[in-house]
Amino acid sequence: MYLLRLALASLSNRRFTALLTVFAIGLSVCLLLAVERVRTEARASFASTISGTDLIVGARSGSVNLLLYSVFRIGNATNNIRWDSFETLANHPQVDWAIPLSLGDSHKGYRVLGTNGDYFEHYHYGRGLSLELAEGKPFQDLFDVVLGAEVAQALGYHLGDHIVLAHGVSTVSLQQHDDKPFVVTGILERTGTPVDRTLHISLEGMEALHVDWKNGVPARGAGKVSAEQAREMHLQPTAITAVMLGLKSKIATFALQRQINEYRGEPLLAVLPGVALQELWSLMSTAEKALLVVSVFVVLVGLIGMLTAILASLNERRREMAILRSVGARPWHVAGLLVMEAFALATAGVGLGLGLLYVGIAVSRGFLQANYGLDLPLALPSAYEWSLLGGILGTAILMGSVPAWRAYRQSLADGMSVRL
Amino acid sequence: MTVSLIKLTALGFAWPGQPELLNIPTFTLDRGERLFLKGPSGSGKTTLLGLLGGVQTVKRGNVHLLGTDLAKLSASKRDRFRVDHTGYIFQQFNLLPFLSVEENVQLPCRFSKERAHRAEARHGSVVEASRHLLAQLGLAPDLGTRRADSLSIGQQQRVAAARALIGSPELVIADEPTSALDADAREGFLKLLFAECSASGAGLLFVSHDQSLAPLFDRTLSLSELNRAARPLEN
């Protein structure tokens, strides 16, 4: 391939422009691949947030809203579920297990979930993975708390630490439950789901925190109930936020969903997690697609930059073309030279883009995992990514054929002599 | 009867929409002959060279190169035929600046198998052939790997001569190759060029407006006498 050698030598003669072009293409390719990888990974981790749960039940609102607060710990419930409704559900003949969820408190921006021991047994994520404790054990005492992996890491908590929960869910909370501190008894393995960002306490513990509260404000003076006093009380919750249900037979899912939605005791809503996830994702997929479209356009801009650089060089290279013609290069050789030049630039750009991507992932991996729960794999490009890269190279060749055609015409007209 | 190197008969040529530029009833160049063709600028010299190289085709008459009628070849065959049998030296700047001196010399062998074969037959390899020619033209061996544009104009012209001669083409066409050189360098360059043309048996068509070089050649012709076309006033 002597033409390739010539193309590369000619490019290296214009190495400053060539490097800039390669850099522009490289950055745009890196952006495209990064968007694609984040997109794929976000969708995958999103879809694997919850599994094994057949129905999620909450107060009647929207299915997306229910999914957001019960699974993703985003936003708040519009209403609570009475405890007797939970008992009715839990005792339903089709129901295998029922996990009560009680939300509303937080700790330094992380949500606190009140639940029972069933949560650690029945909550599954990914492909049927169950929660594992990295250290310690599930909560047993009233004031025990089990931390999600990210909470423990970000706040530097260890087993035995005492922490104070806050009322409400804002990061800066005015009301601290500082009269009833909790002890860290367990820390969960990382899951890549919202569980990592949650503190788990028992329903009774949640009840104890609020036992002396009236109308949303803590009691003062004589009305106050101390932690020790609370231990003596009957801490049966009267309401919870949501319920996760596992059924004995999947076939009953729709029938039970219907029954719950028509429950006469209070207005309830039951959703299938998979369906609600799909619905939620379709909301976000517009943004995700827009992001992809933007990055595709950025790649196009990079390639057009290359086209401009090659076209601009054509005139000053007429002599080069004429010399090549005089030593026997045919017009299609000259055209081929330019296509190869475009191809070489694009290939170098794609290579640089891949390099930047891997360096970027390697550098930011820990940060993304810790802050956004995104685990970007340092894997080889997927088939789809290869096809994107192939498309870029194909487009580059197509674009290279524009200056190639011009040079072809030019070298036919100029022949071996150029009068400049 | 030996076949002429170049044979033009009843040649006519005009650029589209312009009056006839060339009208040459007859012209021949024999093998191994060294011809000085005097042509001031605007005399149709460049066009004639384009016709001889097959880059343009005649409107009328014939161009025979080594007995082959160029008009009967397809465009790509004409290109191949040209590089197989003709070496070119231009006025100046006719090296690719980003290649080494040796690579510049070897260029015709990259595009012509025939010239590559001939270079191999004579010198063993294309690389050897280029080194031999550079040495014959008085260029130090260590210049071979330098970038072509790092050489002086005089040295570059000798490199261009080596490139025209590699693979022993039957015809060397030189278009004002000495106009960028000073008087002393001109004669030196010509002597080297003649010697190498003789060594490979190549005919030389030397086009220049510099009459002072004419006595060194076998034969001298003036393009303005050769060309019967009514010439437009020179600007």
- Chain B residues within an 8 Å CB radius of A320: 96
**Most B CBs within 10 Å, among A326, A332, A334, to test the B interface:** A326
Q: Do A327 and B56 touch (CB under 8 A)?
A: no
Determine the pLDDT at residue B235. 42
Determine the pLDDT at residue B106. 92
Integer angstrom CA distances of residue A367 from A285, A374, A376: 24, 9, 11
Distance from C-alpha of A176 to C-alpha of A178, rounded to nearest angstrom: 5
Listed in sequence order, the residues at least 6 apart from A101 whose beta carbon sits closer than 8 Å to its beta carbon are: A70, A113, A114, A115, A119, A240, A241, A242, A243, A244
Q: Is the sign of the CA dihedral B147, B153, B155, B161 positive or negative?
A: positive
**Domain B6-226: homologous superfamily in CATH:** P-loop containing nucleotide triphosphate hydrolases (3.40.50.300)
Distance from C-alpha of A373 to C-alpha of A42, rounded to nearest angstrom: 9
Taking the domains of chain A in order of start, what are their residue ranges?
2-46+284-414, 55-271
Is A335 in CB contact (< 8 Å) with chain B? Answer: no
Taking only the tens of pLDDT, chain A with its 420 residues reads: 788 888 899 888 888 989 999 999 999 999 999 988 888 888 877 788 888 889 999 999 888 889 888 988 888 888 899 999 999 999 999 999 999 999 988 888 889 999 988 898 899 887 778 888 888 888 888 889 999 988 998 889 999 899 888 887 766 656 788 788 899 999 998 887 888 889 999 998 888 888 777 766 777 776 777 777 778 777 788 889 999 999 998 888 999 999 999 988 899 999 999 888 888 888 888 888 888 899 899 999 989 988 998 888 888 788 888 888 888 888 888 899 999 999 999 999 999 999 999 999 999 888 887 666 677 878 888 898 999 999 999 999 999 999 999 888 887 777 776 554
Q: What ipTM does this complex have?
A: 0.85
Taking the domains of chain B in order of start, what are their residue ranges?
6-226
- E strands, A161-307, in order: 162-163, 166-167, 182-188, 198-202, 213-214, 217-218, 239-240, 242-247, 268-271
Is A319 in CB contact (< 8 Å) with chain B? Answer: yes
**Most A CBs within 10 Å, among B98, B113, B205, to test the A interface:** B98
Q: How far apart are the first and last CA of chain A?
A: 31
Is A415 in CB contact (< 8 Å) with chain B? Answer: yes
Taking only the tens of pLDDT, chain B with its 235 residues reads: 467 888 888 888 888 888 888 888 888 888 888 999 887 777 788 788 888 887 778 888 888 888 888 888 888 888 888 889 999 888 766 888 889 999 999 999 998 889 999 999 988 999 999 999 898 888 888 888 898 888 888 888 889 989 999 988 999 988 888 877 777 778 888 888 888 888 888 899 998 888 888 888 889 988 888 887 765 544 4
Listed in sequence order, the residues at least 6 apart from A102 whose beta carbon sits closer than 8 Å to its beta carbon are: A113, A114, A115, A203, A206, A237, A239, A240, A241
Is B53 in CB contact (< 8 Å) with chain A? Answer: yes
Three-class DSSP category at B65: strand
Shortest CA gap B99–chain A (Å): 7
